[in-house]
Chain A
Amino acid sequence: MSIQSIKVGASPEVQYLLRVGDSCLVLAQRISEWCGHGPILEEDLALSNMALDLLGQARALLTHAAKLDGQGHDEDQLAFLRDERQYLNPVVMELPRGDFAFTQLRNFAVASWLLLLWRRLEQSSDAEVAAIAGKAVKEAAYHQQHAADWVVRLGDGSEESATRMKAALATLWPYFNELFEVDAVDAAAAERGLGPAWVELKDDWRAAFAEVLREAGLECPKDSAFQTHGRKGIHSEHMGHMLATLQYLQRAYPGGRW
């Protein structure tokens, strides 16, 4: 593997698939930071397992995106040799892991979103994407359920846990907007039957989110006008630091193998 950074082409198919694949990869990285730091052993294992599922989904999507991109790259090159601006995940995925309430609320929100997305991608005009989604949809259902339990348990728990869950909700809420933004890449994917325009997932996502918040005794925040643009490669200040950790080994020892 060369040490040179790489870029992917501008085709909407590749961009669309990387938005999803990078979301899985970046969230997997953030969740895996809990390995060895979970509040209890069972939760340490659960978070690591979910990170592994997400990483597996990312590998499949990055492999396929690289093939469509046609420059001869593979999943590893896409993961380790793209610079920040070439990563296309929504910003919410890259935010630091925060406390346990923050992690569980983000996991719940993203798993609910991915579950809806995978269900639609099962009908993709691209057979490989449909096959990847067919597997991932079952995994996302477990992730969603697990995180929903924690949101309820913490939101409806002690004063301390409820305070933390409320703070997580206030911080995260504006970042969820990007999961439902509309743009040309999105529109092209929808038109070609590759996958849905993300805005089509919004109503169902809101319903699932509201159900769990209600049970957790939390109030749904008001709509926010806040915008982020990770899908276009414009990231938060946290992304570069996270990539430095994720990419260090391959940048320092190009092509190094286990």
Chain B
Amino acid sequence: MSSSLPMANTCGRLEAAWEVLRQIPDPEVPVITLAELGIVRDLRETAGGLEVVLTPTYSGCPATELIQDDVRKALAAFGEVEITLQRAPAWTTDWISDEGRRKLKDYGIAPPGPVASGAGQPIRLVHRASLSKLACPRCGSDNTEKLSAFGSTACKALYRCMACREPFEYFKPL
């Protein structure tokens, strides 16, 4: 199956595959790529082609299957594409690259802040209202308020800016 591909130049082949991988956009937030989102964990060579290791963002993310199809299609020229879903360590928004964060912001989605350290601490269930001081990705004002913790997708919350009056989405730290 891989006979048509130059096996000698392994390094170049992997690099070329990475080059293709790096261009694949996220289907739900197409302004950033899968690589920038931090879900491409590894790319390995197999006897018949390639193995791509992906990590899911949310357990129920409906884009998971679509993402696998997109990766398969994009890498079809490299032979058989095997996709491995790796759950551990769990994906975190801390893996979104700086470039990815910049693109999100330019697109009008406030990028996620750092994930609070010290998991296992008791969660603050009440009296959290004053904690939000999120800057509006459009005008920069921090006079904003949360409309809903869940937006158009599980990974985003809905906010509005009281200064420029525009609604915007916030990529939640996870």
Which residues does A use to contact B, with CB under 8 Å?
42-43, 45-46, 49-57, 59-60, 115, 119, 127-128, 130-132, 134-139, 141-142, 144-146, 148, 152, 208, 211-212, 215
Partner of A131, one of B62, B88, B148, B152: B88
Contact partners of B151 in chain A: CB under 8 A: 45
Contact partners of B128 in chain A: CB under 8 A: 145
The 8 A CB mask of B42-64 against A (1 = contact, 0 = none) is: 00000000000000101111100
What is the bound-complex CA distance between A46 and B89, given in angstroms? 26
Contact partners of A59 in chain B: CB under 8 A: 59-60
Q: A136-B59, A138-B90, A144-B123 are in contact. List 17 more A-B contacts (CB 8 A).
A: A42-B147, A45-B148, A46-B149, A51-B60, A52-B58, A55-B60, A56-B58, A59-B60, A131-B90, A134-B87, A134-B90, A137-B119, A139-B154, A144-B125, A208-B123, A208-B125, A212-B125
- Beyond A46-B149, A135-B56, is A52–B154 a contact (Cβ under 8 Å)? yes
The 8 A CB mask of B108-148 against A (1 = contact, 0 = none) is: 00000000000110010110100000000000000000011
Show 18 residue pairs from A and B whose CB-CB distance is below 8 angstroms, ordered by the A residue: A42-B147, A42-B150, A49-B153, A52-B61, A52-B62, A53-B60, A56-B56, A56-B60, A57-B60, A59-B60, A60-B59, A60-B87, A119-B120, A136-B59, A144-B125, A145-B128, A212-B125, A215-B125
What is the bound-complex CA distance between A211 and B124, given in angstroms? 10
Partner of B59, one of A57, A119, A145: A57
What is the bound-complex CA distance between A215 and B148, given in angstroms? 20
Are A152 and B149 in touch, CB under 8 angstroms? no
Interface size of B as a range: 20 to 34
- Beyond A45-B150, A52-B154, A142-B172, is A130–B58 a contact (Cβ under 8 Å)? no
Is B75 positioned at the interface, with any CB of A under 8 Å from its CB? no
Question: How far does the Cβ of B61 sit from chain A's closest Cβ, in whole Å?
Answer: 7
Q: Which A residue sits closest to B88, measured CB to CB?
A: A131
Contact partners of B125 in chain A: CB under 8 A: 144-145, 148, 208, 211-212, 215
- Beyond A42-B158, A139-B58, A212-B126, is A134–B88 a contact (Cβ under 8 Å)? yes
What is the bound-complex CA distance between A95 and B126, given in angstroms? 27
What is the bound-complex CA distance between A137 and B172, given in angstroms? 15
What is the bound-complex CA distance between A204 and B58, given in angstroms? 26
Is B78 positioned at the interface, with any CB of A under 8 Å from its CB? no
- Beyond A46-B150, A134-B87, A135-B91, is A145–B123 a contact (Cβ under 8 Å)? yes
